[in-house]
Structure 1
């Protein structure tokens, strides 16, 4: 049986036939193991979803040329659009306005107290050093 296998191996031009070697079976150096682990840790790129649009995308030069030909907004049109946008705003109630006012007032007074205290402290320290 061994003689038959030797004869079969002798007929192969590349030498004896061996079983295919899997990558997992090969001994890897530490650097190769780190490289494989790093490659596996990279986030996978999402596959691009290509949908048929039915028409070609405009060239950038065509898009900018088309934008240049737009009519300018008149001041009256601007005011009308601003009023329309302000109608969409959800305005706070009177109680909320009062609460916001108190919160802002307390915060501003607190900041004034901190700045005043630091100013007095640094002024006193400078007078003690240079006075």
Structure 2
């Protein structure tokens, strides 16, 4: 019998993802990801739960103060989230980010992120 992902499951995963990122809870984040999870965004591409956790928490340690979710929309087995990324980098104003995640029977298996990275890259020396 196939496992069905409900809208409640998707919302819970998305909420826990941002909570775990904001609190830096490595184990809580890792538990959300399916073994084959992929993440793609303007700052790079990673594969697998370990790389996803390392990337999220690496940003948190390096420059991130908070991700402030403004809108979370769930449709089927996907969540689209509009949030503001707030950093502690001088001269970098909070900026909008769109995150689209797919939740399958094993957890979050795909994340796609879109934002304008120019100000962030300049502040990071890139």
Q: Is the structural similarity TM-score above 0.5?
A: no
Give the TM-score normalised by the residue count of structure 2. 0.18
Higher strand share: 2
Higher helix share: 1
Give the TM-score normalised by the residue count of structure 1. 0.17
Q: Which has the larger radius of gyration?
A: 1
Higher RCO, Cα 8 Å, sep 6+: 2
